[in-house]
Amino acid sequence: MEDSQNRHPPSDRRSGLVVGRVLGVPVHLNASVVLLAVLVTVMYGEFVRHELRLSPPAGYAVGFGFVVFLLGSVLLHELGHALTARHFGIGVRGITLELLGGYTEMDRDAPSPRVDLLVSLAGPAVSLALGTAAVGVTLALPDRTLPNQLAFQLAVSNLIVAAFNILPGLPLDGGRALRSAVWSVTRDRHLATEVAGWVGRGVAVLTAVLVALLTLLDLLTPFGLALMLMVAFTLWQGAGQSIRVARISRRFPLIDVARLARPLFRVPSGTPLAEAQRRIAEAGHGSAHLGVTDSVGRLVALVDNVAAGSVPVDRQAWVAVDAVSRGIDSVPVLPVGLPGEQVIRAVQTDPGSQYLVACGEDVVGVLHIADLAQLLEPKRKLNT
């Protein structure tokens, strides 16, 4: 089962239904949980029904109850991360439960290897405690009874989650523990993340090899095969994302919004689009961004390049720049001199394609998100 603590998650990853708050932490349910609920309800319900000779409705009710217990266990695992992070002053954006487990979103990185280690191991510690307690309950209950079966399944699932998550490779908790160890030795968090990411890819490959061996030995059911392959694929993707994020984060100090911003070429409100483009070409400012000013020369809008580009050439002399512009009140502002990490945080908080770059009250240029992305990942081809 997947478990990851996202420090700076992509804005599109957080999805699903908000089901409430637990100890002040928002909890989201991803749509993939529906698939988990159906699969576990049917498969475990059929198993319990035959094992304990229950009616089909009773068996499926037990199966659904097990889904609830399982999700509760994953939630407690994630709360272990979340509450430990809050204890060290790290804000928690929320917890998301999904098909292969869950993840906790935090608003910043751990300040030290020690804190990173403690936050990472808190989740597996909770799962281990739950699994151990469930083992005790299983042994205390009469064998081949419904409570005994539920306790046994909870014990097995929590112990497996604890053992699997402690494997030393990102995006697993053990990978974060490995990262904190490498970080402590090298004093380079980005290098440590890359190392743990590559080890995570190794774990993914070994998982795939294990799947192949178990399949050859005919020890995997079709459901088990599909689940294990999904786990291996998820690990590979998560490890690759960790490596990518580490490489991007290393370039944060290079971010200078004043240098990255495109100059602003102002034209008065009502100027035909063709005339505005003629003026900007004549001035030799081909990379500049068109801005619209009011009667007193105050910037009031930015021309939307996509909208302007969609106007046919033979119509550009009849379309005013105002018709393809957006008011600056809706454009986020980044101050000159903002540190790179804070620029990224501002972009994640308020996603957009363009940002005004201002020095005090004066707008000095327009930052295009594609230019920022090109700086962070120079090998990627992006539309600007």
Q: Give me the residue spans of the domains in the chain.
A: 2-166, 187-250, 257-376
CB 292 within 8 A of CB 267: yes
Give residue 5's pLDDT: 53
Q: Is 74 left (phi over 0), alpha (psi -120 to 50) or beta?
A: alpha
Strand partners, 327: 301
Radius of gyration of the chain (CA): 27
Rounded Cα distance between 135 and 149, Å, is 11
Quick one: DSSP state of residue 142? Answer: P
Q: Helix or strand or coil: residue 282?
A: helix
Quick one: DSSP state of residue 187? Answer: S
Give residue 144's pLDDT: 79
Give residue 363's pLDDT: 92
Q: How many residues does the chain have?
A: 384
User: Domain 257-376 sits in which CATH superfamily?
Assistant: CBS-domain (3.10.580.10)
| Per-residue CA distances from 348 to 206, 260, 288 (Å) | 34, 18, 25
Give residue 12's pLDDT: 42
Whether the bond between 113 and the residue before it is cis, its omega within 30 degrees of 0, is no
Q: Which tokens belong to 173?
A: 């908790």
Rounded Cα distance between 73 and 153, Å, is 12
Strand locations in 144-298, DSSP E? 264-268, 289-293
Rounded Cα distance between 138 and 255, Å, is 56
| Tens place of pLDDT per residue across the chain (384 aa) | 455 555 444 344 455 788 889 999 999 998 888 888 888 888 888 888 887 888 888 888 888 888 888 888 999 999 999 999 999 999 999 999 987 788 999 988 899 999 999 999 999 999 999 999 999 999 999 987 888 888 988 898 899 889 989 999 999 999 999 999 999 999 999 999 999 999 999 999 999 999 889 888 888 777 678 778 888 998 999 999 999 999 999 999 999 999 999 999 999 999 999 999 999 988 888 789 999 999 999 999 999 988 999 999 999 999 999 999 999 998 999 999 999 999 998 998 899 889 999 998 899 999 999 999 999 998 765 444
